[in-house]
A and B are shown apart, each in its own frame.
Chain A
Amino acid sequence: MLEIKNLHVQLEEEDKQILKGVDLKIGAGEVHAIMGPNGSGKSTLSYVLSGKDGYEVTDGSATLEDVDLLDMDPEERAAAGLFLAFQYPVEIPGVGNMTFLRTAVNAQRKSRGEEEMSAGDFLKEVRARAKELKIDADMLKRPVNVGFSGGEKKRNEILQMAMLAPKMCVLDETDSGLDVDAMKLVSEGVNALRSEGRSFLVITHYQRLLDHIKPDVVHIMANGRIIKTGGPELALEVENNGYADILAEVS
């Protein structure tokens, strides 16, 4: 599904290397987790995959189903099936959540040559999905993320993911800011989307999320590289011992 090879990334504005050769391969239907110390480059990886300005790829590649991602505009990547749940979802005053969702769904459909969703079908679908995530009608009407609590913003990200039905979902610290119940809700939302044709890359600091969303593979990222890859037990090891041992082991 997603294949990242030797990815080197630096900032456009300053001469600072952030990703220093990332290799990662996620098969269809798999769930991978990335853990790693603050500032190791996890969010940067997610931004570079989704096409944010300000980063320069100096070496390496990233493909989604063998299609070069790095050459595309962000909207093309989205239409190709990539989705990023932001670590910090963005507030957009003046743009209604519903309008936003509908515009996004139909823009993706259009660019794939599919028919747009009718207003009625869309409304039905949104209401059903929102209900599962305990997002009330009022939140749907309000401007995108404006005045939403931290947890509400994260749930709103999952709602978008559910509506857009992407193939490759990157979740950047979707668990941060969630209370215990919301964490369960969000995990259930994610698990409901798990399927053979859909893969996940879950960035997190905590084992707790991985209790709910069981990963097939866990990667440890440090200083711009994946330094260790293993099974779910690797997350437990981090939870118990921190990163010191792993960092020492590789250096």
Chain B
Amino acid sequence: MNILVCVKQIPDPAGPQELNNDNTLKREGKLILDESDSYGVEIALQLRDTAGEGEVTLISMSPGEPSGLRTALAMGADKAIHVVDDTLHGADALSTAKVLAAAVQRAGDYTLVIAATESTDGYTGTVPAQLAEILGLPSVTFAKSIRVEGGKVHVDRQTEAGYDVVEADVPAVVTVTAGVVEPRYPSFKGIMAAKKKPLETLAVSDLGLDLSSWGQNIVSVEDAPSRAAGEKIEDDGEAYLKIVEFLEEQKVI
């Protein structure tokens, strides 16, 4: 079973986050594998290993080095496609989806495209659905588990109350919720082997895409409003009553 996994390489969220003059995020330093995507990679590896055949191919669009892709290759993915092109600077979610779709179409036969529900840096949570639309494939979101059987993908889809059992024809685009599996650590051997796995670097022109409009222009960025001061209650021994009252007002209890 061949599986494609969209993985985003992002600036380390632990480091300082800075904007460029055009209000896009600085992506100059070393990019890492978005943790949100490590769950999708793990699920894909498990599906491949259960099937006993096939390949896991990573697809990513980002500037710079494929350092995050190497992490996923070290975990056990078989190969990677990295779209790098200065003209993509400032690309919005739809443009990103178009680029990823074009890369998917080059990747040969596949059963599933897996992505995360939302990325850690942009977190619009819109790319995967757009990708499915462009590819003309079913889109299943918020998966907590995935099984492929009899030409269909069976997904337990997380909801607020529990989960829905959903099935769709394959190929399909499925997004995976963070935390549903324990992503493996890359082994040392996996890390050594990652160096030698196929990694294809493509420009927009290789994908035969029309560059006419990348749409997004970020006009300004404002700080989030600081939180208004809360109410202070002196504890005279009965403060808990005030708290209970407050919680009742909020209809929390």
Q: Do A and B come from one complex?
A: no
